[in-house]
A and B are shown apart, each in its own frame.
Chain A
């Protein structure tokens, strides 16, 4: 089994910095130093994940091994049922492997309790979903603030960070709007702001452009690229969209629980 990427494009780390990230903003939104070259932030060795349908075992990931470097932007493709979401869940600390070892940001996922996994997610993972999943009764700013409620930051600091994250995603003028007052693309931008507001180590994106038209999808992909290039965020993106995969530096293909 090969874990080598099937396509690779040049880094765009010399792109212009986002205008929203001003000098007085929290450190995580300033252009970061380059991640340590070659240092793996996601390491999976012989990972198997088996579910049971009644008494019938169903192996979704079959002895999978892979290594993703810090600062990478990788796309994960594959047909339905190939194990993409299961792999994403393992990397995000939502699930544990049945066997094998999954080390994410230095944490052995399989050895962590539920509570430790929750804290791990709060610290290291930023989620971006296909259908945005914003809370409809909260404004854009309040939605973005949600992950910060798990921290000891003051109300003022939470607000400041949420506003900064929204500026980074280009929604300075929509902070007090409710999700129903936003377009799909704008909702996804809020979701991205929510995913980055606590400065996670890894951004996990599950079909982030799946519900968007081409133009909005391109905007979101541009934003993800900016987060990767300018802010050095490690991004792992599950997608069916070849155009989206094009934006990643590496695309991996998963089929029947194995990387091709």
Chain B
């Protein structure tokens, strides 16, 4: 069987032109498929790689509505909560580059890096930041992109909190977990709060906690919400993963559309492969007849066709992955992480997607060869030989 497979595979050498274009067409389709799957995967990576022991507490109605500052201490008092921190979404823009999007947050400085310990910042940077009210810690991707260095003075424009805000870059963090955006801009919550008056003062966006036992996250979340049940402002607490999933649910239509497009791409690939295989079978009718004449049975002939198609699938898959892997990981992924880090903190081709792509290429090629192989097996030997002469 192996020998038969190898002979069938060599049929791809008959027409380098056709084989090259078929492989190229299939590989391009596969690259598009891999990129789409990577978008879908990267989108869900935040949920996939979310910390199991981290829970978030927000306003019961929507995360846009603030919570009273004292809620943070109330959350810390709930049994099972190891540490809690709070923050406000700031929504800063760079005046000279208003289209540049990055997450900017006013965070409780003394606890933030305890709760987000996968955002690694050096002790020196952290100490400098804690001592500097206008200080900011930025993700290394954002710092590199904007050319910011420690000690630089940066003026940002507030969108939620209007005005020009002056910051000093005190340090740079680097995420050790894929779910964390490496492009965030973090500064002291006190710096923001000190400028606020009226109802906005002493309010926080949400509270994030680490729990002592991740298996009890759901129970502790319920316990936290129960604390605020009788108050004017109720809360909803959920795991970081659930929070990310509920955030993604808002984009379900887009995700479904991407799914559909990726299936359409596979359909196109199936047609490309099917056309090539059908052409090959038509051209080789007489060879199949000769094989039958010298004693090969119909299943041998069908095997020849499927084996040749499978080889085409393997080659297309390997070429497609061979192109997509370095392109996405070294070029596209880096660009996306730099420019869209808030949505795609980690944009790389997962090995599982690469394996899936090769598997799909082989399966599609085999599927495309199904009808041609059946036709080849049914070749009338005498008719075909008569045409041979």
Q: In the complex, which residue of chain B has the Cβ closest to the Cβ of A95? A: B382
Say how far B295's CB is from chain A's closest CB, in angstroms: 3
Q: Is the CB of B297 within 8 A of A115?
A: yes
Q: Tell me, in angstroms, the Cα distance from A95 to B287 when the chains sit together.
A: 18
Q: Tell me, in angstroms, the Cα distance from A208 to B7 when the chains sit together.
A: 26
Q: Tell me, in angstroms, the Cα distance from A79 to B303 when the chains sit together.
A: 39
Kindly state whether residue A129 has any CB partner on chain B within 8 Å. yes
Report the count of interface residues on B (CB-CB < 8 A): 24
Q: Is the CB of A137 within 8 A of B3?
A: no
Query: Max chain A CB contacts within 10 Å: which of B3, B4, B290, B292?
Result: B290
Q: Tell me, in angstroms, the Cα distance from A129 to B389 when the chains sit together.
A: 8
Within 8 A of B (CB), among A86-133: 86, 89, 92, 94-95, 114-115, 118-119, 121-123, 125, 127, 129-131, 133
Kindly state whether residue B231 has any CB partner on chain A within 8 Å. no
Contacts known (A133-B287, A136-B14); A94 close to B295, Cβ less than 8 A: no
Q: Is the CB of A150 within 8 A of B296?
A: yes
Which residue of B4, B286, B385 is within 8 Å of A149 (Cβ)?
Answer: B4
Contacts known (A131-B388, A133-B287, A207-B389); A121 close to B382, Cβ less than 8 A: no
Which residue of A85, A118, A119, A146 is within 8 Å of B386 (Cβ)?
Answer: A85
Contacts of B298 in A (CB 8 A): 114
Which residue of B11, B291, B385 is within 8 Å of A137 (Cβ)?
Answer: B11
Which residue of A94, A125, A142, A150 is within 8 Å of B385 (Cβ)?
Answer: A94
Q: Tell me, in angstroms, the Cα distance from A126 to B386 when the chains sit together.
A: 17
Q: Tell me, in angstroms, the Cα distance from A131 to B287 when the chains sit together.
A: 11
Kindly state whether residue B10 has any CB partner on chain A within 8 Å. yes
Contacts known (A133-B287, A138-B10); A147 close to B295, Cβ less than 8 A: yes
Q: Is the CB of B14 within 8 A of A137?
A: yes
Q: In the complex, which residue of chain A has the Cβ closest to the Cβ of B289? A: A133
Which residue of A119, A122, A210 is within 8 Å of B389 (Cβ)?
Answer: A210
Q: Is the CB of B290 within 8 A of A129?
A: yes
Q: Is the CB of B3 within 8 A of A155?
A: yes
Which residue of A85, A119, A137, A138 is within 8 Å of B295 (Cβ)?
Answer: A119
Contacts of B295 in A (CB 8 A): 118-119, 121-123, 125, 147, 150
Say how far B95's CB is from chain A's closest CB, in angstroms: 67
Q: Is the CB of B382 within 8 A of A94?
A: yes
Which residue of A94, A118, A136 is within 8 Å of B296 (Cβ)?
Answer: A118
Q: In the complex, which residue of chain B has the Cβ closest to the Cβ of A135? A: B287
Say how far A220's CB is from chain B's closest CB, in angstroms: 16
Interface residues of A toward B: which range? 20 to 34
Q: Is the CB of B292 within 8 A of A118?
A: yes
Which residue of B7, B11, B388 is within 8 Å of A133 (Cβ)?
Answer: B388
Contacts of A138 in B (CB 8 A): 7, 10
Q: Is the CB of A127 within 8 A of B291?
A: no
Kindly state whether residue B293 has any CB partner on chain A within 8 Å. yes
Q: Tell me, in angstroms, the Cα distance from A131 to B386 when the chains sit together.
A: 11
Contacts of A194 in B (CB 8 A): 294
Which residue of B3, B13, B14, B293 is within 8 Å of A121 (Cβ)?
Answer: B293
Which residue of B11, B286, B293 is within 8 Å of A92 (Cβ)?
Answer: B293
Q: Tell me, in angstroms, the Cα distance from A240 to B386 when the chains sit together.
A: 16
Contacts of B388 in A (CB 8 A): 129-131, 133
Within 8 A of A (CB), among B277-334: 286-287, 290-298
What is the 8 Å Cβ interface bit string for chain B, positions 243-268, against chain A (1 contact, 0 not)?
00000000000000000000000000
Say how far B14's CB is from chain A's closest CB, in angstroms: 6
Say how far A178's CB is from chain B's closest CB, in angstroms: 10
Contacts of A119 in B (CB 8 A): 295
Contacts known (A94-B385, A133-B286, A149-B3); A127 close to B293, Cβ less than 8 A: yes
What is the 8 Å Cβ interface bit string for chain B, positions 60-103, against chain A (1 contact, 0 not)?
00000000000000000000000000000000000000000000
Within 8 A of B (CB), among A192-210: 194, 206-207, 210
Query: Max chain B CB contacts within 10 Å: which of A125, A127, A135?
Result: A135
Kindly state whether residue B381 has any CB partner on chain A within 8 Å. yes
Say how far B16's CB is from chain A's closest CB, in angstroms: 12
Taking Cβ atoms with an 8 Å cutoff, the residues of A that contact B are: 85-86, 89, 92, 94-95, 114-115, 118-119, 121-123, 125, 127, 129-131, 133, 135-138, 142, 146-147, 149-150, 155, 194, 206-207, 210
Please name 20 pairs of A and B residues whose Cβ atoms are closer than 8 Å in the assembled complex, sorted by A. A89-B385, A92-B293, A94-B385, A95-B382, A114-B298, A115-B297, A118-B295, A121-B293, A121-B294, A122-B295, A123-B295, A125-B293, A127-B293, A133-B388, A138-B10, A147-B294, A149-B3, A150-B295, A206-B385, A210-B389
Taking Cβ atoms with an 8 Å cutoff, the residues of B that contact A are: 3-4, 7, 10-11, 13-14, 286-287, 290-298, 381-382, 385-386, 388-389
